[in-house]
Amino acid sequence: MTHFPPLDGLLAGRLEAVFRKPAAQQPVWPDPDRAREAVAALSRAEPIVAPEETARLARRLAAVARGEAFLLQGGDCAETFAGGTEAHQRGNLRTLTGMAAVLVQRAGLPVVRVARMAGQYAKPRSQAVDALGLPVYRGDMVNSAESTPAARTPDPGRMLRAHACAARTMGLVRAFCPGGAAGSEIYVSHEALLLDYERTQLRVDTSGPEPRLSSGLGHFLWIGERTRRLDGAHLAFAELLSNPIGVKIGPSTTPEQAVEYVRRLDPHGEPGRVTLVSRMGHTRVRDVLPPIVEKVTASGSQVIWQCDPMHGNTYVSANGYKTRHLRQIVDEVAGFFEVHRRLGTHPGGLHVEMTGDDVTECLGGAPAVAEECLPARYETACDPRLNARQAMGLACSVAEMVAA
Ligand code: PEP
Ligand code: MN
């Protein structure tokens, strides 16, 4: 596939090679010609973010990696087209900003704010079909959550809608948080999952130690737990990008794998280029994380250690809701801090799924959401989010840990 704007020989060849590697979690488009047309149209569309902004985030993240700042990242598990109202987006930004303010005031460390926003429309799934035998919902960028065969058929035109929604959302982020002072910046991030979307909007960037591609689709991109295989397309793609990169690491991650992610993604030893996002579960973090941190530290690389206390603590409640308990979420963060304090490394960040809406998706908090409350406002398109009160409660707990 030709790329727009054209890439130089070496990068073009390496990008082509990425797409020959196995890629997990991709939809099978029913009409490949329409998918190619959508990718071509996306390549000609406008970028969501500017390379200069992404480069500025990279500098902020270098400070996090050096232990001088904290990275706070959060937002919906899955953004949706219908849910992307101004009220919803403003609520999420307000909650993220509120959490950051608590951390700044009580922990006295600058906070780099990164929203899961303006591109978080594709979801990895554990199963290919749902309980009704329909193809699973893979995020609004791919298909619709509605339970009909037609709605679940992947539609490449949705990538264009996702891009338009992302552009509108980014406009709102800029209006809400005009740049300038470092304290008011908000960056956007999403999981780099759907490669037909991610392969568009790439610009050659020669500002770093080697020519790379700056993705205009988000400032910070991460590779998920289900697509982090070392011989896969997602890792090879991330290697080519100049954007800061996260890798989610679950409890099956070996120290050797973690070192290999860092070696591949950060061959030049740039502090903060790689964020390792541990999501081990509250019962495992204290055992599984230390050998990983030790081995990566010994390799000499200055990564950001970020805790995602959500994805390892998901379970189904007695009344049938996919949920998470705030107590276990706080416990995973506590375990993460214990490990880093003991090893002398910087517990540099938090990655959460939350919203400003008063939803009842996660349990606990004050006043507590109890199991029987879950049906009242269970609105997520994918994983359960903290509501604003729960998110602020978590920020207070984390601020104490940072300050300790
Ligand atoms: C997510 O962040 O929504 C997600 C799917 O995470 P993970 O890849 O860690 O499971
Ligand atoms: Mn999720």
Contact 156, 56 (CB under 8 A): no
Q: Is the pLDDT of residue 177 over 90?
A: no
Q: Which atom of ligand 1 is nearest to the CA of 277?
A: 9
> Residue positions in the annotated binding site?
77, 116, 225-226, 248, 279, 311, 353, 383
Q: Which atom of ligand 1 is nearest to the CA of 77?
A: 3
225 CA to centre of ligand 1 in angstroms:
6
Q: Is the pLDDT of residue 117 over 90?
A: yes
Q: Which atom of ligand 1 is nearest to the CA of 124?
A: 5
Is the dihedral angle over the CA atoms 174, 176, 181, 182 positive or is it negative? negative
Q: CB-based contacts of 9: which residues, under 8 Å, 6+ apart?
A: none
Span between the terminal Cα atoms of the chain, in Å: 53
- Quote the mean pLDDT of the chain: 96
**What span, in angstroms and rounded, lies between the C-alpha atoms of 44 and 73?**
29
Q: How far is CA 268 from CA 50, 121, 209, 214, 287, in A?
A: 23, 32, 7, 17, 30
Candidates 114, 248, 385: which one to mutate for ligand 1, based on the most atoms within 8 Å of Cβ? 248
**What span, in angstroms and rounded, lies between the C-alpha atoms of 25 and 126?**
9
Ligand nearest to the CA of 125: 1
Candidates 311, 354, 361, 382: which one to mutate for ligand 1, based on the most atoms within 8 Å of Cβ? 311
Ligand nearest to the CA of 74: 1
- Looking at residue 179, what is its pLDDT? 62
**What span, in angstroms and rounded, lies between the C-alpha atoms of 221 and 187?**
11
Q: 3-state class of 130 per DSSP? A: coil
Candidates 247, 279, 306: which one to mutate for ligand 1, based on the most atoms within 8 Å of Cβ? 279
Q: Which residues line ligand 1 (CB under 6 A)?
A: 77, 124, 191, 224-226, 248, 279, 311, 383
Nearest CA to ligand 1 atom 1: 77
Q: Which atom of ligand 1 is nearest to the CA of 279?
A: 9
**What span, in angstroms and rounded, lies between the C-alpha atoms of 114 and 117?**
9
Which of left, alpha, beta for 191 (phi over 0: left; psi -120 to 50: alpha)?
A: beta
Q: What is the pLDDT of residues 214-269, one digit of tens each?
A: 999 999 999 999 999 999 999 999 999 999 999 999 999 999 999 999 999 999 99
Task: Give the residue from 192, 177, 48, 188 showing the smallest Cα distance to 115.
Answer: 188
Contact 355, 297 (CB under 8 A): no
Q: Which band of pLDDT confidence, cut at 50, 70 and 90, is reported for residue 9?
A: confident
Q: Which atom of ligand 1 is nearest to the CA of 227?
A: 8
Q: Is the pLDDT of residue 384 over 90?
A: yes
Name residue 83's amino acid: G
Instruction: Note whether ipTM > 0.90 here.
Output: yes
- What share of the chain in percent tops pLDDT 70? 97
Q: Is the pLDDT of residue 6 over 70?
A: no
CA angle 38, 40, 42 (to 5 degrees): 70
Q: Is the pLDDT of residue 183 over 90?
A: no
Q: Is the pLDDT of residue 335 over 60?
A: yes
pLDDT mean over 347-376:
97
Is the dihedral angle over the CA atoms 326, 125, 127, 236 positive or is it negative? negative
Token digits of residue 38: 């959508």
Ligand nearest to the CA of 191: 1
Task: Give the residue from 273, 254, 253 showing the smallest Cα distance to 263.
Answer: 273
Token digits of residue 62: 């270098």
> Residue positions in the annotated binding site for phosphoenolpyruvate?
116, 225-226, 248, 279
pLDDT mean over 280-299:
98
Nearest CA to ligand 1 atom 10: 225
Q: Is the pLDDT of residue 146 over 70?
A: yes
